[in-house]
Amino acid sequence: MKQVLMEKIASRSLRVGVIGLGYVGLPLATTFAEAGFHVTGIDVDQKKVNLAKRGESYIPDIESSTIQQLIDAKRLHFTTDFSVLKDIDAISICVPTPLRKTRDPDISYIVSAAKDVRAHLHRGQLIILESTTYPGTTDEVLLPELEATGLKVGKDFFLAFSPERIDPGNPRFGTKNTPKIVGGLTPECTELAQAYYGAA
């Protein structure tokens, strides 16, 4: 499984899915598409998806012309339909985690995304959580949800965390010039996540 994904990353045949098309997800989706991957951006917000489909950026860091060029090249498309995940090899979860009044992150969007991924999880997928959250979320929230399918991490699918580190609006700390930190649940998961981001 790992070797197949490594070969897909190297050949740019890996099909990428980005869940959450906000300040982290949209730049990440365009970065992977610019690197030659076929990328599907997924969001529950129909308005965002409609704008993106028309090649209109709603994020200052991303030019509308960039989105349109990638759409025209058939390397980037957008949807609200999570069933597309069944055809995706690598999924980046970039959903929001707003702070509650108690100053802890609201992880309900992560929980929802985990359920969507679980519904379409298959052998050989790489799932990476990028949402800003507390330590242990990948182990405590995503892993049990995904392993409830009967598939095993590090053997059937691969799971990692890579915290979002960009500074929206600041070109010095964007998707392409900010080093990524990755941590997988197994050494194989870490290696795949490293190769994945290294190819972007």
Q: Please write the tens of the pLDDT for every residue from 5-43.
A: 999 999 999 999 999 999 999 999 999 999 999 999 999
Contact 95, 20 (CB under 8 A): yes
CATH number at residue 140: 3.40.50.720
Distance CA 64, CA 52 (A): 8
> Domain for residue 73, yes or no?
no
> Domain for residue 26, yes or no?
yes
End-to-end CA distance of the chain: 21
In this prediction the pTM is 0.93
Distance CA 33, CA 116 (A): 23
- Angle between helix 2-11 and helix 187-198 axes, rounded to 10 deg: 10
As a whole number, the mean pLDDT across the chain is 93
Domain containing 158 equals: 2-44+81-198
What is the structure's pLDDT at 1? 86
Distance CA 164, CA 185 (A): 18
> Domain for residue 117, yes or no?
yes
pLDDT digits over 124-133, tens only? Answer: 999 999 998 8
> Domain for residue 62, yes or no?
no
